[in-house]
Structure 1
Amino acid sequence: MIAELLSFFSSLDDHLAALAQASPLLFFGVVTLIIFAETGLVVMPLLPGDSLLFIAGAITALAGLNVHLFVAILCAAAILGDAVNYFVGSRLGMKAFERKDSRVFKQEYLLQTQAFYEKYGPFSIVMGRFVPIVRTFVPFLAGVAQMPYRTFFVYNVIGGVAWISSLTYAGYLFGNISWVRNNLSVIVIGIVAISVLPIVVKVWQEHRRSRRAS
């Protein structure tokens, strides 16, 4: 599984570059659809959001495409995705938690989410954007926890714009540097590793805590 993921990430830049050369419109559309799916569909938490944005920005520079238009489209997709995820959580989330606990929906998740928002406030919507997997579940659980939509919307926009623009423009600015261009696959894997590191640390801490308790 890990080998397959590494293989996918290592060749992601080649696939997207070929797509951008063949059809810039299709390139924009595919990247936009992936960003929407990762943020809007709670069943799609493993899509390569961070690395995808950096690569897409670099390819946009190399292909001479309009990066500002691209960023605007991606921001709209990210904001709309979180909004859809929020409404799904607000409409269907409580019904899922009212049923018998499953691997995905548990009463403790709802309680932990409510505690998380009480501790960190609405800014948790912004923070969650930069953490893989977490960014897929944050808007859904915000809906489940019945966060006021006006509050959610403001921080959804802030987080979406910050996430999309920072990574896409970073790829665009550094994409024309020869060293970055020649080592793009390594950089992508590094981005994935760094973004997943907080989750790995959390799992390790929970494992140690459970072993001490037992």
Structure 2
Amino acid sequence: MDQIIQLMKNIDSSLHYYIDEYGAAIYILLFLIVYFKTAFVILTFLPGDSMVFASGTLAATGDLDFKILFMLFAAATILGDSQNFFIGKQLGKLNSENHFLYRLTSDKSIGKAKVFLSDYGRVAITSSRFVPLMRTSVPFVSGYTGYEFKSFLSYNLIGGLMWTAFWLTAGFLLGNIAWVENNLFLTLLMVSSTAFIPAIIGFVKQYKKRKEAVA
């Protein structure tokens, strides 16, 4: 089990090795990783942005098929978020924050997701997958708080397609650059760090507001 977890955590930086080892089955593995990451709030440690980006770079070199990747990643994240929504909805019906599934999540991330959803509504559902921790918490909280699934699904579809297109296309375009291909690990570190930019901006804004309020 530990080996499986390590494989799933590190697949983004060693993807080309696993292609040789698993062949066409790598598509199934990639689908499952994105699906599990978005379907269960306790699996946020799995790679997301970086893995889709790495897949795009390998599509640029012909090792993977771009069209297949796009369909698989889009389906995985949309289906995963939908399942996450229904998990939250079932817990909402139980009306129990003491349920073991709820206790496995971070109170801090759930609280932030509630505020994020309350402040930005539909935009939060569409853009949450671009924000660390929010990508799995917002669908869960949407279901838990009784958000209408029909509306959630519409904006979930838009967000899923946007997220997949952005990271996969970015990887594909940059994958044609020799430096990126030869320094994939360093590139993934840079890509992963960009995911925290929205969080940093939000922190700076909150800090300024508090400072102005004190003044």
How far the C-alpha of 1:109 sits from its partner, in A, is: 4.8
Q: How does 1:158-197 map to 2 (within 5 A)?
A: 158-197=158-197
RMSD in angstroms over aligned alpha carbons? 3.3
> CA separation of 1:103/1:74 partners in 2, compared to 1, >3 Å: closer, same or farther?
closer
**Is the aligned partner of 1:27 residue 2:29?**
no
How far the C-alpha of 1:99 sits from its partner, in A, is: 3.7
Which residue of structure 2 aligns with residue 152 of structure 1?
152
CA deviation digits over 1:150-209, x for unaligned, max 9?
100000100001101210121122212102112221121111112124435656887996
Q: Percent identity?
A: 30
Q: Distance in 2 between matches of 1:33 and 1:51?
A: 15
User: For structure 1, which segment, 149-158 or 94-103, has the greater mean C-alpha deviation from structure 2 after superposition?
Assistant: 94-103
> CA separation of 1:55/1:109 partners in 2, compared to 1, >3 Å: closer, same or farther?
closer
The answer for unaligned runs of 5 or more in structure 1 is: none
The answer for unaligned runs of 5 or more in structure 2 is: 1-5
Q: Distance in 1 between matches of 2:109 and 2:198?
A: 21
> CA separation of 1:39/1:188 partners in 2, compared to 1, >3 Å: closer, same or farther?
same
**Is the aligned partner of 1:77 residue 2:76?**
yes
How far the C-alpha of 1:133 sits from its partner, in A, is: 1.9
User: For structure 1, which segment, 140-149 or 86-95, has the greater mean C-alpha deviation from structure 2 after superposition?
Assistant: 86-95
Which residue of structure 2 aligns with residue 59 of structure 1?
58
Partner-residue secondary structure (3-state), 1:43: helix
TM-score w.r.t. structure 1 length?
A: 0.79
Q: Distance in 1 between matches of 2:115 and 2:16?
A: 43
2:119 is matched by which residue type in structure 1? K
CA deviation digits over 1:46-89, x for unaligned, max 9?
22211111001111222443211211011111100000000000
User: For structure 1, which segment, 150-159 or 43-52, has the greater mean C-alpha deviation from structure 2 after superposition?
Assistant: 43-52
Higher relative contact order (CA 8 A, sep 6+): 1
> CA separation of 1:186/1:106 partners in 2, compared to 1, >3 Å: closer, same or farther?
closer
Indicate if the aligned counterparts of 1:57 and 1:175 stay in contact, CA closer than 8 A.
Answer: yes
How far the C-alpha of 1:136 sits from its partner, in A, is: 1.1
TM-score w.r.t. structure 2 length?
A: 0.79
Q: Distance in 2 between matches of 1:102 and 1:30?
A: 28
Q: Distance in 2 between matches of 1:51 and 1:41?
A: 19
Which residue of structure 2 aligns with residue 90 of structure 1?
89
Partner-residue secondary structure (3-state), 2:41: coil
How far the C-alpha of 1:115 sits from its partner, in A, is: 4.8
